[in-house]
Amino acid sequence: MQILRWIVLFFLSLMVAAPLAAQGPLRIAAAADLEPVLPPVLVQFERATRIRAEASYESSAMLTTEILNGAPFDVFLSADLGFPKRLIDAGAAGSAGSTTPITYARGTLVLWTRRDAHLPPPSLALLRDPRLKRLAIANPERAPYGRAAVETMRKLGLYDALKSRLATAENIAQAAQFVDSGNADAGLISLTSAKTPRLSSVGSYFVIPRELYAPIEQGAVIVSRTKQRTKAQKFLDFLLSPEVQSELKKSGLAPAR
């Protein structure tokens, strides 16, 4: 009887575990500026909760379209509040009664150049320098950092002069790659990209004054069709914890609060 009881308990445990295994990892749609920042956070999250999470990185606009088209994401981490709000308005994200995304960080725009670019150190004056032939930015229609870059140039009265010299990338990670590879002389990119070990070792950056562009408030939402809502909420709670917010700050994202 004891053996039979253990056999029954064993099969019951398999029945409980099977749906959990079938769910797979928590799937996170993450804005491209998070690519240098998020991987260690996911490792810490798994260690703390035993919940595995995987991220896919793209422009916020592209990820919004994918979620609206049924991509199986559980959480969306955007580089702004507008794209997750669009999902909430479409009924594709949020929970009952939720009308606004959660702000999990604030982004910073910088001007970055390689040290071997034969240009003066990055500054606002560099944007007026005729030696600047190609300036990389993210697509302003798809990426909030791209919008901030265009807004900065307009505020400085330089957009018309620089428009023909822009190298427009699909997302902020690609914009940084344009400059790093020498396909652009300088780039208006995210501080998270500029602070990566690779870019820190070969270039330098200038922080664009915040009065030149609207705040880059980065928003998060839980995707409505997720079957892992409890895990998704645990992840967002973890992301907003003081320890993780401190780590994000070191990587170039200002704390949410």
174 pLDDT band (50/70/90 cuts)?
Answer: very high
**Per-residue confidence (pLDDT) for residue 176, from 0 to 100:** 97
What tens digit of pLDDT does each residue of 10-34 get?
Answer: 444 444 444 444 469 999 999 999 9
* Mean pLDDT of the 177-182 span: 97
Q: What is the largest CA-CA distance in the chain?
A: 88
- How many Å is the Cα radius of gyration of the chain? 21
**Per-residue confidence (pLDDT) for residue 198, from 0 to 100:** 95
**Confidence check: pLDDT of 48 > 60:** yes
Question: What residue ranges in 98-223 does DSSP mark as E strands?
Answer: 102-107, 109-114, 135-138, 166-169, 186-190, 203-207, 216-222
142, 60 contact by CB (below 8 A)? yes
DSSP 30: E
Backbone torsions φ then ψ of 136, nearest 5 degrees: -85, 135
97 pLDDT band (50/70/90 cuts)?
Answer: low
* Mean pLDDT of the 185-206 span: 97
Distances 88 to 27, 79, 100, 136, 165 between C-alpha atoms, Å: 18, 16, 7, 32, 37
All domains of the chain in start order, with CATH: 14-106+216-255 (3.40.190.10), 109-207 (3.40.190.10)
Token pair recorded at residue 182:
């020498």
Question: What residue ranges in the chain does DSSP mark as E strands?
Answer: 26-31, 53-58, 75-77, 102-107, 109-114, 135-138, 166-169, 186-190, 203-207, 216-222, 254-255
**Confidence check: pLDDT of 3 > 60:** no
What tens digit of pLDDT does each residue of 140-164 get?
Answer: 999 999 999 999 999 999 999 999 9
